[in-house]
Amino acid sequence: MSDKFLEHLLADEGRIHPNVSHISTVIDAPGRSFQGLCTCGWSSTFTHYEEADLLRAMHAHAVRTFDSYR
């Protein structure tokens, strides 16, 4: 993960902030693929950045919309 992404996750003293349960990003994964990741543990791997980013956005939308994702 990038340093900037980790900075957003971490609060004082290097602990994950209690109100942060869903922060997501897309990273370059090994093997010429991209991986969407979320702090809740969700992940998905695709060969195209756009596919990984679309699923990341759909996950973020589902978290805000559907109670079952919370």
Query: Could you report the per-residue pLDDT of 25-46, keeping only the tens digit for each?
Result: 999 998 999 999 998 889 999 9
The verdict on pTM exceeding 0.75 is: no
User: What is the rounded average pLDDT of the residues 9-36?
Assistant: 74
E-only strand ranges, the chain: 24-29, 33-38, 43-46
CA distance 70 to 47: 28
Structural domain boundaries in the chain: 3-69
Residue 12 — pLDDT band, cuts 50, 70, 90? very low
